[in-house]
Amino acid sequence: MVVLGFMRKSLTTWIVISMFVGVELGFSLPGFSKQLNVLSGIFLRLIKTIISPLIFATLVVGIAAHSNLKQVGRMGLKAILYFEIVTTVALFIGLAAINLTKAGEGAQLVQVETAQVDKAGQLLKQEKKNHLLEIFPENLAKAVAEGQVLQVVVFSVIFGIALAMLNEEKKKPMLHFAEGLSDVMFRFTDIVMYFAPFAVCGALAYSIASFGFEVLKNLALLVATLYGALLVFILAVLVPIGFIIKLNFRKFIRAISEPVAIAFSTATSEAALPKAMENLEKMGIPRKVVAFVLPTGYSFNLDGSTLYLSLASVFVAQLAGVDLTFGEQLLMVLTLMLTSKGVAGVRGATFLILVATVSDMGIDPQKAFVILGVDAIMDMARTTVNVIGNCLATVVVAKWEGEYSDVPEAVKA
């Protein structure tokens, strides 16, 4: 496989190779592998430094350079409409899957360390915020430091609109700065991506060493239910959407292969964002569409996470012996349609929403902590679907706006 990596000279190939190496290291050298989590930590820190300036620069250029403010508003409405429809379908697929398999009935509880419970409880208290209020930044530096992607998007959109309203003489210097910053951040992304195989290897080695393959035993049906539901969602929802918009599947798969591999390995949507933006732009989608739709989707269109939330919430209810009626499940879905929009694109944020949801249902939230044993495995799958769904959403809005049409392979840009 290493020989194949040298022959292909492809980053995606090296990422796949590093996944296998990480699994082998985690299984064979667990003590050493538990120290390798620092590799993925370094990678994620570097990625986080890219996201805010990249979003700011690309959005400002996309809005101000074209000065078509009506299109920005129209594009936003179309994106939000698409996000709401697709994530609602995902919620109901998750609900149907867990009611079909009843994975929570008879599952064996796994003892969770008190420290884990206390830590998650503290995070849950922090998570109980007004989601509408949290969309708007009170301090740009704070939003950047805390990784509040949607707040950065809101600031950048308003900044871009304000810049577009200036006359050409005053607008030109700031526009040139934003264009230069955007180009620099894309090159920055290329440099950081060379470290991705090491990060992937370290993340998987750490996961296998910490949890082992045994974590699948008690909750195997839950994991299988989630993976099956996500596969159904891809085949029954995303693929038909692709056919409807006449998507060039080969070109699309080639564009998302690296971001998807990163998302699966690190279980972090955020890590895949810069490369996804770059590859979609190379695919032919205008920067103004990519810069607006993709980051916004990270708060409003996490298909895999929303599907998981409905599935896992009913699973916890089954585990606790609570028989939810159809009406109660429907009310839960309606609640999740709102609360899931506040889910961040980082590891563990979805679990906090799950705990809040089961608490609102009157179920002991500690029952949810049994899922922690396999949450890392499920997180990889749902994060992968999040990235695929958002990349497809970007293509959909671009086609909807008449901003993208596939160019034949023989024609060079």
Residue boundaries of the structural domains of the chain: 2-400
**Which tokens in the block code for residue 224?**
């299988």
pLDDT single digits (tens) 253-307? 999 998 998 888 877 777 888 889 999 999 999 888 888 888 888 767 889 988 9
CB 370 within 8 A of CB 110: yes
Q: Which pTM does this prediction carry? A: 0.69
> What is the C-alpha separation between 404 and 344, in angstroms, rounded?
29
Confidence at residue 114, expressed as pLDDT on a 0 to 100 scale:
45
pLDDT category at 90 given cuts 50, 70, 90 is: very high
Distance CA 386, CA 391 (A): 9
Pick from 22, 59, 20: nearest CA to 40: 22
Tens-digit pLDDT profile for residues 351-403:
666 776 777 777 776 677 667 656 777 888 998 999 999 999 999 999 998 88
Can you list the pairs that 23-30 forms with residues at least 24 positions away whose Cβ atoms lie under 8 Å? 23/204, 23/205, 23/208, 25/201, 25/205, 25/208, 25/209, 26/204, 26/205, 26/206, 26/207, 26/208, 26/209, 27/208, 27/209, 27/213, 29/205, 29/209, 30/208, 30/209, 30/212
Q: CA 57 to CA 192: how far, in whole Å? A: 18
**What is the band of 177 on the pLDDT scale with cuts at 50, 70, 90?**
very high
Identify the band that residue 244 occupies on the pLDDT scale cut at 50, 70 and 90: very high
What CATH number does the domain located at 2-400 have?
1.10.3860.10
